[in-house]
């Protein structure tokens, strides 16, 4: 007779856990990223913002949003590539896995994070498709998982 | 499986803390330099202060100041840079100058006229003589009703020391090759002939000044000549004579300039000289080197006249 073996195996992360993890990340990122920038934000002229891409907008607004986008992307990529987790995922005990697990994949899966509208589409795909992956997780062949103990 | 993808707990937190710290420091650095970066990339009106006596070389420089006043070479370079900078849409010259070298004034005025973007000027307390020459070359002049403007004339006066020296038995030993080489020397009286020659030179410069102002201000030359007695005019008088366009201050000039370029929300940036540590260091060395070199060269001076005609 074979002895029973206790193993932990990955299962797709539950949605609420992912949402909480994302909330923690956004809070942390806003704190470290926007705290030093709070003095310069009022100097940006939002009156000049226009949906017309060819309008003469305040160029510093473009510079600032690009800077925030790069650091936002950098936060998730740096943590998930090295640790398989972001800060929020660490608290919620979630992990990113992929086959193979490369820098390019991690970059691709996080590409929508700095852009609210794109990220919304990314998440809506997950909600309406009923699966466990965002659209860019499908593209990058990665998944967020949690571990559960089971007996074999 | 978990152990395969999980680094040590302690090193994991160290890494997370490191990433967050890097992001924080980068943001801090970015916010520190943002105003400079913003100024360099945004479309703007640049306000260039022109304050003091106008010279070609900033004579009278000291260790920690590159000479008070307006140095034509520096201003011409600044204007050229502003003209080629596509983010600069217009320039406002904030003039507070009693005048100075005719050549230096003309150099600056010529560069202003060569600009490809609107250049307005606002005369603060004084924009007289050479200061007015520069202002007249701009597209539009604003001055306070109480500003001192005009003074269209040329001066080349100097102190005459020969009688003082003769009291103490000091005499001037004249040794020249060329009859008029020491004309205007403060140690000898002018002859009638020399006086006539010098006056002729001043009249020539005066004529150039008058015709330039007439051309710049689109006024009949005779009218400018009648005003060009060397008299200064208050802003309110200058407006009446057509020497300036509007009465007002810096804000008035900026409002008019914004209307001219149809950009009411555009940034306004004051151009102030940046002194980096390196430039201060090199300037210090250059000052001491130049001072020593200049002192040794002084005795062999090839000066043609102790006084340069000023406007």
Residue A59 with chain B: CB contacts under 8 Å: 41-43, 87
pLDDT of A76: 95
* pLDDT band, residue A35 (cuts 50/70/90): confident
Query: Average pLDDT of chain B?
Result: 83
Nearest residue in B to A8, CA atom:
B1
**Mean pLDDT within B79-95:** 94
Decide if A117 is inside a domain.
Answer: yes
Across the interface, whether the CB atoms of A40 and B35 are under 8 A apart is answered yes
- pTM (two decimals): 0.62
Distance from the B50 Cα atom to the nearest Cα atom in chain A, whole angstroms: 28
Residue B83 has pLDDT above 90, yes or no: yes
pLDDT of residue A12: 92
Whether A56 is covered by a domain: the verdict is: yes
Is the Cβ–Cβ distance between A122 and A139 less than 8 Å?
no
Closest-CA distance of chain B to residue A120, Å: 24
Mean pLDDT of the region B74-94: 94
**Per-residue model confidence (pLDDT) at position A49:** 52
Q: Above 50 in pLDDT, residue B150?
A: yes
- Asked if residue B295 has pLDDT above 60, the reply is no
In a domain, A1, yes or no: no
Residues A54 and A68: their CA atoms lie apart, in Å, by: 22
Please report, rounded to a whole number, the percentage of residues in chain B having pLDDT higher than 90. 58
Q: Highest mean pLDDT: which of A53-67, B57-71, B156-170?
A: B156-170
pLDDT at A57: 54
Q: Chain A residues with CB inside 8 Å of B20's CB?
A: 28, 32, 75, 87
* CB spacing of B27 vs A75 below 8 angstroms: no
- Whole-number pLDDT of residue A71: 93
Owner of token pair 């510079």: A63
A82 within domain boundaries:
yes
Catalytic residue among B105, B129, B147, B310: B129
> For residue A14, is it within any domain?
yes
Q: What proportion of chain B, given as a percentage, has pLDDT over 70?
A: 82
Within an 8 Å CB–CB cutoff, is residue B304 touching chain A? no
Alpha carbon of A152 to those of A145, A146, B1, B2: distances in Å?
20, 18, 15, 17
ipTM: 0.84
Query: Do residues B122 and B151 touch, judged by C-beta distance below 8 A?
Result: no
pLDDT one-digit tens code per residue, B234-257: 999 999 999 999 999 999 999 999
A60 and B1 within 8 Å at the Cβ level: the answer is no
| Closest chain A CA to residue B29 | A36
| B226: confidence class by pLDDT, cuts 50, 70, 90 | very high
Which residues between 255 and 284 in chain B have a beta carbon less than 8 angstroms from any beta carbon of chain A?
A: 265
| Predicted pLDDT of residue A61 | 76
Q: Which residues of B229-262 are buried (b: 16+ CB within 10 A; e: fewer)?
A: eeebbbbebbbebebbbebbeeebbbebbbeeee
pLDDT, position B37: 73
What CA–CA distance (Å, rounded) separates A47 from B266?
11
State the residue for tokens 């406002």.
B92
The CATH number fitting domain B42-151+231-287, selected from 3.40.50.800, 3.90.226.10, 1.10.357.10, 3.40.50.1100: 3.90.226.10
DSSP code at position A131 = S
| Chain A residue with the nearest C-alpha to that of B40 | A60
According to the model, what pLDDT value does residue B231 have?
94
Per-residue confidence (pLDDT) for residue B305, from 0 to 100: 42
**pLDDT score of B307:** 58
User: Would residue B258 show up in a list of annotated catalytic residues for this protein?
Assistant: no
What is the pLDDT confidence band of residue B63, given thresholds at 50, 70 and 90? Answer: very low
List of residues 6+ apart from B25 with CB closer than 8 A: none
Does the pLDDT value for residue B119 go beyond 80? yes
Question: Is B129 a known active-site residue?
Answer: yes
- Number of structural domains chain A divides into: 1
- Considering only the beta carbons, identify the residue of A39, A90, A95 that sits closest to B31: A39
Q: Could you tell me the pLDDT band of residue B290, with boundaries at 50, 70 and 90?
A: very low
Residue among B188, B156, B152 nearest B173 (CA): B188
Q: Is residue A119 part of a domain?
A: yes
Asked whether residue A2 is assigned to any structural domain, the reply reads: no
Looking at residue B78, its pLDDT comes to 94
Write the CB contacts of B294 (distance below 8 Å, at least 6 apart in sequence). none
**In chain B, where does the domain assigned CATH 3.90.226.10 lie?**
42-151+231-287
How do A142-151 and A6-12 pair as beta strands?
antiparallel
- B12 part of contact set with chain A, CB < 8 Å: yes
Joined tokens for residue A77: 């990529």
Is B278's pLDDT higher than 70?
no
B8 exposed, middle or buried (CB, 10 Å; 0-12, 13-18, 19+)? exposed
DSSP chain B: -HHHHPPPHHHHHHHHHHHHHHHHHHHHHHHHHHHHHHHHHS-EEEEEEEES-EESS-SS--SSSS-SSEEHHHHHHHHHHHHH-TTEEEEEEEEEE--BBHHHHHHHHHHHHT-SS-EEEEEEEEEETHHHHHHHTSSEEEE-TT-EEE----B------HHHHHHTT-------SSTTTTTT-TTSPPPHHHHHHHHHHHHHHHHHHHHHHHHHHT--HHHHHHH-SS-EEEHHHHHHHTSSSEE--HHHHHHHHHHHTT-TT-EEEE------HHHHHHHHHHHHHHHHHHHHHHTT---S-S---B-
Smallest CA-to-CA distance from B211 within B197, B223, B199 is with: B223
How many angstroms separate the most distant Cα atoms in chain A? Answer: 77
Out of B57-66, B118-127, B218-227, B296-305, least confident range: B296-305
B60 or A5: which leads in pLDDT: A5
Pick the catalytic residue: B80, B179, B181, B240? B181
Residue B264 has what pLDDT?
A: 86
Number of inter-chain CB pairs under 8 A, A vs B: 84
Domain hosting residue A86, numbered range: 7-151
What distance in Å separates residue A86's CA from the closest CA in chain B? Answer: 8
Q: What is the pLDDT of residue A152?
A: 67
| A42-92 confidence digits (pLDDT tens) | 666 555 555 554 444 566 777 888 889 999 999 999 999 999 999 999 999
């Amino acid at each position: 007779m074979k002895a029973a073996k206790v193993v932990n195996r990955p299962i797709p992360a539950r949605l609420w856990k992912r949402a909480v993890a994302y909330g923690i990340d956004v809070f942390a990122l806003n704190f470290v990223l926007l705290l030093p920038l709070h003095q310069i934000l009022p100097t940006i002229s939002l009156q000049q913002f226009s949906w017309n891409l060819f309008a003469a907008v305040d160029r510093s607004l473009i510079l600032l949003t690009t800077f925030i986008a790069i650091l936002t992307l950098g936060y998730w990529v740096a943590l998930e590539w090295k640790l398989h987790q972001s800060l929020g995922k660490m608290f919620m005990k979630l992990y990113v896995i992929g086959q193979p697990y490369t820098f390019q994949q991690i970059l691709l899966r996080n590409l929508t994070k700095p852009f609210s509208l794109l990220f919304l589409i990314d998440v809506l795909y997950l909600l309406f498709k009923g699966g466990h992956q965002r659209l860019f997780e499908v593209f990058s062949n990665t998944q967020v998982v949690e571990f559960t103990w089971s007996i074999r | 499986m978990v152990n395969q993808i999980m680094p040590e707990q302690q090193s994991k937190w160290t890494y997370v803390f490191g990433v967050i710290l890097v992001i924080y420091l980068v943001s801090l650095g970015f916010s520190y330099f943002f105003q400079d970066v913003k100024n360099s990339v945004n479309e703007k009106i640049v306000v260039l202060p022109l304050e003091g006596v106008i010279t070609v070389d900033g004579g009278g420089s000291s260790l920690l100041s590159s000479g008070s006043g307006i140095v034509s070479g520096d201003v011409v370079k600044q204007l050229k840079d502003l003209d080629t900078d596509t983010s600069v849409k217009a320039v406002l010259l904030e003039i507070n100058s009693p005048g100075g070298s005719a050549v230096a004034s003309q150099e600056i005025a010529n560069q202003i006229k060569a600009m490809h973007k609107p250049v307005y000027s606002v005369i603060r307390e004084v924009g007289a003589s050479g200061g007015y020459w520069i202002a007249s070359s701009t597209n539009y002049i604003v001055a306070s009703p109480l500003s001192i403007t005009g003074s269209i004339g040329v001066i080349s006066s100097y102190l005459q020391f020969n009688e003082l020296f003769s009291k103490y038995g000091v005499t001037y030993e004249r040794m020249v090759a060329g009859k008029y080489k020491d004309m205007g020397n403060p140690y000898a009286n002018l002859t009638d002939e020399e006086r006539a020659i010098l006056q002729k030179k001043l009249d020539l410069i005066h004529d150039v000044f008058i015709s330039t102002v007439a051309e710049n201000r689109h006024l009949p030359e005779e009218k400018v000549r009648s005003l060009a007695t060397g008299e200064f005019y208050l802003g309110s008088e200058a407006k009446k004579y057509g020497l300036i366009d509007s009465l007002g201050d810096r804000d008035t000039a900026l409002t008019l300039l914004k209307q001219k370029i149809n950009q009411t929300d555009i940034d306004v940036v004051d151009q102030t000289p940046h002194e980096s540590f390196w430039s201060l260091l090199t300037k210090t060395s250059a000052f001491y080197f130049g001072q020593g070199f200049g002192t040794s060269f002084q005795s062999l001076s090839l000066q043609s006249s102790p006084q340069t005609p000023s406007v």
